[in-house]
Structure 1
């Protein structure tokens, strides 16, 4: 009789243990960013900017567009060549993606990050924390520009003439409106010391991201506020419903060291099926 009691207890314990371990395993929803990581796994330095986002009512689907900047080998340039505003850089490859479908969870996670770097790789190290466009790999990098002083004595980052395209890419067309002197050194110092590879950075007063003037020519910025509010309410409900069923994104799950290890060893195959393909 004692043997059977022990056997029943062992079976019950095994069931509970299996159930708990099953519940702890997240069901990943694939993001286009996962594809980018695997596609450019052999690249040591790149940045991915969320260049636009939208919701298609007729399809009931959410979409992102990305701008990918890949750093190639830089030629040896003289100061005169760096200041040349006519020649285009040969060491930066720029790829603008088409619309990419994303799940409600992904859309909700990045709804404040329009115009920002949402994924970067620097010297082989991935960083999935959102930051102002270019501030991670290009601002503060003497290969592309230098710190200058404005008329008020403040320090700001200025790109060399050869890399003048960064001004439009990071700050938006009509450079100077809203970012008259580029990124202030105080902002870059704050990001570099307290946020890099740690957590998202939106500036000291949340001046970077979706509401920034640099996004004024995007599809999302040109949508009426009533549309945006409706989408935000809808995506919140849809995302919550998916999370209640055990779904998550790799960005969410990677906030723990345990998950970061699993993220590196993963083959990036989604368990969810159709999202983000």
Structure 2
């Protein structure tokens, strides 16, 4: 019994030291930002995440990313990364952000504001598309033909149309430094708990449904995330009015905001 107690204490001490070390190391996203410092435009999307938590041994947290850069004639180039080890803090920070942009650079301006896929530099940007009205009179975003592949790159088919009113809600959240997940109260359009993300990221969805341990880790991390909503609103994707957020423990507000320097429809 004495040996077991000593072994347990050593394991806890090792975990504490490792955890502190992880807390201060650069995240993979920071490393990618440094490596792409010569680029004027890029988008980093959280593609997948995994975790293993143990009582007496080291915990593991991992991310996969989708990186979009611009090639010739502003045609997007896509790269999906392998698994990266991340710190527990970084895992918790973005535990609610599957399928979301977690870093972007637009016209040379860097942001780590979490945004729905494609929103930071492409949706609303008249270089890539325009607003079109449907039969009910609502305006939704349409990419020009040469950029039609962006719908697939950002998995927009899984999330439904981007309506202008919802996009206005996003810009309002963005400018006030709050993350935007769309949808009505309790039913986000984007992020970890959205049906769109579950369809667009089947490996993550299968992991959530097949492993209660992993699901509990994600749920705990979302509730503890320093980026979660402490107060605020969740806006409808088809209405420009904001609703009071009754699930404030699940979704986060961002820590920074910036204004766009170029013209974007209606902004």
Give the TM-score normalised by the residue count of structure 1: 0.63
Which residue of structure 2 aligns with residue 19 of structure 1?
Answer: none
Deviation (angstroms), 1:185: 0.5
The question of 1:93 aligning with 2:77 is answered yes
Deviation (angstroms), 1:238: 10
- After superposition, residues 154-165 of structure 1 pair within 5 angstroms as 154-165=138-149
The question of 1:51 aligning with 2:42 is answered no
Deviation (angstroms), 1:98: 0.7
Verify the 8 A CA contact 2:40 2:107 in the aligned structure 1: yes
Which residue of structure 1 aligns with residue 92 of structure 2?
Answer: 108
Which residue of structure 2 aligns with residue 148 of structure 1?
Answer: 132
Secondary structure at 1:207 match in 2: coil
Task: Provide the C-alpha distance between the structure 2 equivalents of 1:148 and 1:49, rounded to a whole number of angstroms.
Answer: 26
- After superposition, residues 125-136 of structure 1 pair within 5 angstroms as 125-136=109-120
Verify the 8 A CA contact 2:41 2:70 in the aligned structure 1: yes
Larger Rg: 1
Verify the 8 A CA contact 1:139 1:157 in the aligned structure 2: yes
Name stretches of at least 5 consecutive residues in structure 1 with no aligned partner: 1-26, 75-89, 241-253, 258-277
* C-alpha spacing 1:136/1:103, structure 2 compared with 1 (3 Å): same
Which residue of structure 2 aligns with residue 213 of structure 1?
Answer: 195
* Residue range with higher mean Cα deviation, 163-172 or 52-61: 52-61
* Residue range with higher mean Cα deviation, 163-172 or 40-49: 163-172
Verify the 8 A CA contact 1:53 1:219 in the aligned structure 2: no
Task: Provide the C-alpha distance between the structure 1 equivalents of 2:131 and 2:144, rounded to a whole number of angstroms.
Answer: 10
Alignment RMSD (CA, Å): 3.0
Cα deviation code 1:176-224 (max 9, x no counterpart): x540xx2110111122244148332112533211122332233221122
Deviation (angstroms), 1:106: 0.8
Which residue of structure 1 aligns with residue 64 of structure 2?
Answer: 65
Secondary structure at 1:192 match in 2: helix
Secondary structure at 1:167 match in 2: helix
Task: Provide the C-alpha distance between the structure 1 equivalents of 2:159 and 2:255, rounded to a whole number of angstroms.
Answer: 33
Secondary structure at 1:132 match in 2: coil
Task: Provide the C-alpha distance between the structure 1 equivalents of 2:224 and 2:177, rounded to a whole number of angstroms.
Answer: 28
- After superposition, residues 8-19 of structure 1 pair within 5 angstroms as none
Runs of 4 or more above 6 Å deviation: 236-240
> How many positions carry a matched residue from both structures?
198
Give the TM-score normalised by the residue count of structure 2: 0.65
Secondary structure at 1:203 match in 2: coil
* C-alpha spacing 1:170/1:255, structure 2 compared with 1 (3 Å): closer
